[in-house]
Chain A
């Protein structure tokens, strides 16, 4: 692991069940292509965990390995404290997952598809079908054939399929795909409510804004490696800060700021103002100093706003840096 652990370092955890997911040195290759390259991943229980990465980074492969859909070439892993694949059946009994696009038997209704899946789970799963359908807002359409469902409805049915097992751990691969804005809002709320109930949700998504709003912690994977991992506030705390300044005479304002000894990384003229990039951890006194320099220099300041880097900008920054070094 190359960055901050979500909870602690791997050495501090001995598979005592306090982690929802734990992998050590997990590797998987398809011929010459390395899909997962010695991944150490620690996901604590009871949080929403985002799993991010560019296309082809190995996100879905890791999920497939965790769920026993494909075999790992090396490494160890456990789900909910149970080593996998040795105790895969016990571990998966409390796991619900959507991997890739959720697909079902099109000739069956949503309810019948859930009956097929419930039959493969514990006997109590069948009694949870209606509640699961209601929770994802599909109860009214439960008796329609799945072939008539939209993509978004199939996503909801996929979540319902996860819920019939009363899971402690949900692994959702791109659950927002096909959802309209209201559906995405509902999904976000539902994920937060699941976490509030003490469940763990692992969310793989390209929608970084949604991940930032939904998740407590993230891991970024690229080329089979986890390159960053930790709580979102901690990860973003290490990123630069941009001070947006709306003012008169932006060019002269830039010269004034440049002539001071402020530790600005870059100063760019953007429209009717400046964008001043400051190092992580810059204090509020620096903002006041910028305002003082400009006003003293006879420049009218209309707005001055510090903007923290978003997860999306941080993600692009991290992944583009990797691209530069490749």
Chain B
């Protein structure tokens, strides 16, 4: 330490610098505050490695392996892209893990100043505590938004550039982009394939079905007069295939060889929305509790346990509360061509609710947790 004045600003005599010039009582954070908060979060090496691994590493490694396998043995391993891969990576991996990593980052941003003793230094600057809280939001969103965007961009790139040349529906190669009548015509021409491979809910007229015994080629059969299986006539088979195609068209229509630009944009925005919700709620919860571990655990429980239960079940007298869960609301905003984010075996278990309700629920969570987190920060002893 040097006692003598060194010529720098701190050694000068107390100046008459107007303290009001920097408006530190304002609740609006400065760009500099946001930038340094961004730096503080970005330099958490362990946390950042984890976030990058989950949001970018997992999809990259998975898709790289599929690309490699397809390149080595194209007949055994299908293309790396396609409908199933795109939907699994976006509505499965990036949706769920994106929320969890965003929540982890939010809980970290909301609690570390207190845990690491910096909160006191920051409060002593005289800066508005609300501004200190709000500075974390753009800083954290810049990080998590970028990571999710990069991970999703990789998925999109692989699904577009390594797309299959034909559409695979229920394991059957089907021409892509058929109209309903086109699909029915195609089904009539490939009756045995359709009857034996396409899923159908209900009973087919004429009791037509598939005889798929081992060692024999699959064939279309029906019940004879004495109950035994007999080969169906060509007209019976065509009628059955047309009936199945008619029912399957809605499901077929959603499938694609590669995602359209519109779907990719919608999916990207939906994933960013989910990550934003995860971060803001995590930030508020972390600030409220003042410590990270418990907050992260609670956020994981919300995403992995509570939300799937709320999406799939109908609890009497509790439906509106279920609709109030943010995961149910974000699930409602899922792009139409994607399967249910929380699984469901092809069925859509989602609670019925209006889009307006879903948006209101999401806004309520974002605003509510921001108020709670900032309130705790403003009233907490430092």
Asked whether A131 lies within 8 Å of B8 as measured between CB atoms, the reply is yes
Q: Of the 9-residue stretches B34-42, B269-277, B312-320, which lies at the interface with chain A?
A: B34-42
Q: How far is the CA of A290 from the CA of B128 in the complex (A)?
A: 66
- Rounded to whole angstroms, the CA-CA distance of A67 and B19 in the bound complex is 16
Size of chain A's interface in residues, with CB distance under 8 A?
67
* A166 touching B33, Cβ below 8 Å: no
Binary interface encoding of chain A residues 87-116 relative to chain B, with 1 for a CB under 8 A from any of its CBs, else 0: 011111111110111111111100011011
Instruction: Determine whether the beta carbon of B32 is less than 8 Å from that of A119.
Output: yes
Please state if A92 and B124 are interface contacts (CB–CB under 8 Å): yes
Q: Per-position contact with A for B274-305: 1 when CB-CB < 8 Å, else 0?
A: 00000000000000000000000000000000
Chain B 120-160 residues near chain A, CB threshold 8 A: 120-128, 132
Q: Across the interface, do B20 and A120 meet the contact criterion of CB distance under 8 Å?
A: no
Kindly list chain A residues whose C-beta atoms are within 8 Å of the C-beta of B124: 67, 69, 92, 95-97, 99
Pairwise interchain contact A166-B127, C-beta atoms closer than 8 A: no
Counting CB contacts under 8 A, is B352 at the interface? Answer: no
Q: Judge if A305 is at the interface, Cβ distance under 8 Å.
A: no
Q: Out of A116, A120, A128, which one reaches B10, CB within 8 Å? A: A128
B382 and A70 contacting across the interface, CB-CB below 8 Å:
yes
Contact of A168 with B17 in the complex, beta carbons under 8 Å: no
- Write the nearest CB–CB distance from B11 to chain A, whole angstroms: 6
Per a CB cutoff under 8 Å, which of B6, B24, B121 touches A135? B6
Across the interface, which residues of B come within 8 angstroms of A167, CB to CB? 14
A193 to chain B, nearest CB (A): 4
Residue B126 contacts which of A88, A123, A168 (CB distance < 8 angstroms)? A88
CB <8 Å contact, A92 and B13: no
Residues of B within 8 A of A269 (CB): none
Also in contact, A127 and B2, with CB within 8 A (given A93-B24, A116-B40, A120-B127): no
Q: CB of A126 within 8 A of chain B?
A: yes
Interface flag for A229 (CB, 8 Å): no
Given that A90-B126, A94-B19, A119-B33 are contacting pairs, would A107 and B8 also be in contact in the complex, using a CB cutoff of 8 Å? Answer: no
Given the known interface contacts A122-B22, A132-B10, the answer about A197 and B381 at a Cβ–Cβ threshold of 8 Å is no
B213 on the interface (CB 8 Å rule)? no
Q: Is the CB of B120 within 8 A of A93?
A: no
A275 interface residue (CB < 8 Å to B):
no
CA distance A99 to B381 in the complex (A): 13
- On whether the beta carbons of B2 and A190 are closer than 8 Å, the reply is yes
Tell me whether B347 is interfacial, beta carbon within 8 Å. Answer: no
CB of B36 within 8 A of CB of A119, answer yes
- A93 and B126 form a contact (CB under 8 A): yes
Question: Any chain A CB within 8 A of the CB of B117?
Answer: yes
Q: Which residues of B contact A95 (CB under 8 A)?
A: 124, 126
Whether A107 lies near B6 (C-beta < 8 A) is no
- B72 adjacent to chain A (CB < 8 Å): no
Is A249 located at the chain interface by the 8 A CB criterion?
Answer: no
- Are the CB atoms of B14 and A166 closer together than 8 Å? yes
- In the bound assembly, the distance between CA atoms of A122 and B125 in angstroms comes to 9
- Residues 49-60 of chain A, each 1 if its beta carbon lies under 8 Å from chain B, else 0: 000000000000
A105-B112, A120-B132, A156-B1 known; A135 and B17 CB under 8 Å? no
The answer for the CA separation of A167 and B117 in the assembled complex, in Å, is 21
State the Cβ distance, B352 to closest chain A Cβ, in Å: 47
B76 within 8 Å of A by Cβ? no
Distance of B377 from chain A, by nearest CB (Å): 13
Stretch of A181-189, A216-224, A292-300 lying at the B interface = A181-189
- Check if B118 sits within 8 Å of A105, measured CB to CB: yes
Given A90, A93, A113, A166, which contacts B9 in the complex, CB threshold below 8 Å?
A166
Question: What's the least CB distance linking B116 to chain A, in Å?
Answer: 5
Residue on B with the closest CB to A122?
B22
List, in ascending order, chain A residues with CB within 8 A of B307's CB.
none
Most buried by A among B10, B35, B45, B112: B10
Instruction: Indicate whether B25 reaches chain A with its CB closer than 8 angstroms.
Output: yes
- Give complex CA distance A117, B40 in Å: 11
Bound Cα distance A132, B7 (Å): 10
Q: How far is the CA of A103 from the CA of B12 in the complex (A)?
A: 26
A126 touches B32 (CB 8 A): yes
**B10 x A131 contact (CB < 8 A):** yes
Q: Does A199 contact B (CB under 8 A)?
A: yes
Residue contact A132 to B118, C-beta cutoff 8 Å: no
* Contact A190:B1 (CB < 8 A) given known A91-B126, A93-B126: yes
Please measure, in the bound complex, the distance between the C-alpha atom of A100 and the C-alpha atom of B17, giving whole angstroms: 28
A15 → chain B closest CB, angstroms: 17
B75 is an interface residue with CB less than 8 A from chain A? no
Chain B residue numbers with a CB within 8 Å of A131 are 6-11
Nearest B residue to A138 by beta-carbon distance?
Answer: B1
Chain B 163-201: CB-based contact to A (< 8 A → 1; otherwise 0): 000000000000000000000000000000000000000
Cβ of B9 and Cβ of A183 under 8 Å apart? no
Which of A157-165, A237-245, A311-319 lines the interface with chain B? A157-165
- Please give the distance in Å from B155's CB to the nearest CB on chain A: 31
- Residues on A with C-beta less than 8 A from B122 are 116-117, 120
Q: Which residue of B lies closest to A126 (CB)?
A: B32
Q: Is A68 an interface residue (CB 8 A)?
A: yes
Name the 4 nearest CB pairs between A and B, nearest first. Answer: A131-B8, A103-B117, A92-B126, A93-B19
List chain B positions with a Cβ less than 8 A from chain A. 1-15, 17, 19-22, 24-25, 30, 32-33, 35-37, 39-40, 43-45, 112, 116-118, 120-128, 132, 381-382
Query: What is the interface of chain A, defined by CB distance below 8 A to chain B?
Result: 64, 67-71, 88-97, 99-108, 112-113, 115-124, 126-128, 130-132, 134-137, 156, 159, 161, 163-168, 183, 186-187, 189-190, 192-193, 197-199
Interface pairs (27), CB distance under 8 Å: A69-B382, A90-B19, A90-B20, A90-B25, A91-B126, A92-B126, A93-B24, A94-B19, A102-B117, A103-B118, A107-B44, A108-B39, A108-B43, A116-B37, A117-B121, A118-B36, A122-B17, A122-B24, A128-B10, A131-B7, A136-B1, A166-B14, A168-B14, A186-B2, A190-B2, A197-B14, A198-B13
Beyond A116-B39, A119-B30, 10 extra complex contacts between A and B, CB < 8 Å: A67-B123, A93-B22, A96-B124, A102-B117, A104-B118, A108-B40, A112-B36, A135-B1, A166-B12, A190-B2
